[in-house]
């Protein structure tokens, strides 16, 4: 698959009479950060589940590098296991050092023996990230991983994920409802609507990205319009 870590070609998926994905083509390369936006119920999670191998397409092909892992909106920790055991869950005992390193990378050195119930929401999500990291994924699937966090923690986690992805360079597919999050993190942003990509393009702006960059504001407006939001009336102050 050369540099391509994820490839969908002509992928169709229906549930009963409802066509959710109506012919999706997508390639994500190693080291590329791809963000997927779309109104609720348009099939974003279905697309991630296809990539994770949890769904099969009705038609078309799904190819993804074998080492892939998903981080969900909720951390999904095993409450009866300590933090380090959660990170290395299902891995051999010899992975414990790698687990400690992954915890240090997410800023949780010293929390190895803590119980999940004692962690804040942000810390628990860091453990989920460490659990993904220790598996050295070629493909990292992020299903609204920050949606349940408070606004400040969300920004901190976005920075952490940007840093981790720049260092480890997996192919990333991020599903989010947050246009600013997509524009902050991704190399490329697509909008899924009506079963196909209504928009799919490179962000093309240097990092770190300045929220006040007019080019970013243009991209935000275009994406909101693809999402069916009229930014002119809803989000910008009246100039008069
Ligand atoms: N296993 C299933 N059986 C039947 N219908 C399903 C199944 N999985 C998903 N759907 C339907 O497919 C559509 C797309 O769901 P999906 O969860 O992929 O959307 P989404 O874009 O991720 O939504 P949200 O943004 O609200 O999370 C929805 O109408 C959903 O009800």
How many Å lie between the centroid of ligand 1 and the Cα of residue 8? 18
The ipTM (two decimal places) reads 0.96
User: pLDDT tens-digit profile of 85-119?
Assistant: 999 999 999 999 999 999 999 999 999 999 999 99
What average pLDDT score do residues 61-80 get? Answer: 96
Is the Cα torsion angle 30, 103, 70, 223 positive or negative in sign?
Answer: negative
User: How far apart (Å, rounded) are the C-alpha atoms in residues 91 and 67?
Assistant: 14
pLDDT surpasses 80 at 231:
no
Identify the pLDDT of residue 239: 54
How many Å lie between the centroid of ligand 1 and the Cα of residue 193? 13
Stated pTM of the model: 0.93
User: pLDDT tens-digit profile of 3-51?
Assistant: 999 999 999 999 999 999 999 999 999 999 999 999 999 999 999 999 9
Kindly give the pairing relationship between strand 33-37 and strand 171-175: parallel
Q: Whose CA is nearest to atom 16 of ligand 1?
A: 43
How many Å lie between the centroid of ligand 1 and the Cα of residue 160? 29
Q: Whose CA is nearest to atom 8 of ligand 1?
A: 46
How many Å lie between the centroid of ligand 1 and the Cα of residue 13? 11
- Closest approach atom of ligand 1 to CA 42: 21
User: pLDDT tens-digit profile of 195-205?
Assistant: 999 999 999 98
Contact 49, 29 (CB under 8 A): no
Ligand 1 site, CB within 6 A: 15, 18, 20, 38, 40-46
- Closest approach atom of ligand 1 to CA 192: 21
* Closest listed residue to residue 227, CA positions, set 202, 201, 203, 194: 194
Residue 212 three-state SS: coil
**CATH no., domain 1-67+138-231:** 3.40.50.300
Q: Identify the residue whose tokens are 């999402």.
A: 227
Identify the pLDDT of residue 71: 97
- Closest approach atom of ligand 1 to CA 175: 22
Domain ranges of the chain: 1-67+138-231, 71-136
Residue 233 three-state SS: helix
How many Å lie between the centroid of ligand 1 and the Cα of residue 128? 23
The fraction of the chain above a pLDDT of 70, given in percent, is 95
Average per-residue pLDDT for the chain: 93
Identify the pLDDT of residue 238: 53
What average pLDDT score do residues 170-195 get? Answer: 95
pLDDT surpasses 60 at 232:
no
Q: How confident is the model at residue 149 (pLDDT cuts 50, 70, 90)?
A: very high
How many Å lie between the centroid of ligand 1 and the Cα of residue 44? 8
Contact 34, 172 (CB under 8 A): yes
């Amino acid at each position: 698959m050369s540099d391509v870590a994820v490839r969908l070609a002509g992928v169709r998926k229906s549930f009963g009479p409802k066509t959710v994905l109506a012919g999706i083509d997508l390639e994500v390369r190693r080291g590329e950060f791809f963000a997927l936006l779309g109104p609720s119920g348009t099939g974003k999670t279905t697309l991630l589940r296809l990539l994770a191998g949890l769904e099969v397409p009705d038609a078309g092909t799904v190819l993804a590098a074998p080492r892939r892992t998903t981080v969900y909106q909720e951390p999904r920790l095993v409450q009866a296991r300590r933090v380090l055991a959660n990170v290395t869950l299902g891995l051999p005992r010899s992975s414990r050092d790698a687990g400690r390193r992954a915890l240090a990378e997410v800023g949780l050195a010293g929390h190895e023996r803590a119980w999940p119930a004692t962690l804040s929401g942000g810390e628990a999500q860091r453990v989920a990230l460490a659990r993904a990291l220790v598996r050295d994924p070629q493909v990292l699937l992020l299903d609204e991983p920050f949606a349940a966090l408070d606004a400040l923690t969300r920004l901190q986690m976005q920075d952490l994920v940007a840093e981790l992805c720049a260092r480890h360079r997996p192919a990333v597919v991020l599903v989010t409802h947050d246009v600013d999050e997509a524009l902050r993190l991704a190399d490329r942003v697509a909008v899924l609507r009506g079963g196909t990509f209504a928009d799919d393009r490179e962000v093309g702006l240097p990092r770190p990205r300045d929220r006040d960059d007019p080019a970013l504001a243009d991209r935000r407006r275009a994406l909101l319009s693809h999402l069916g939001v009229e930014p002119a009336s809803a989000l910008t102050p009246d100039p008069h």
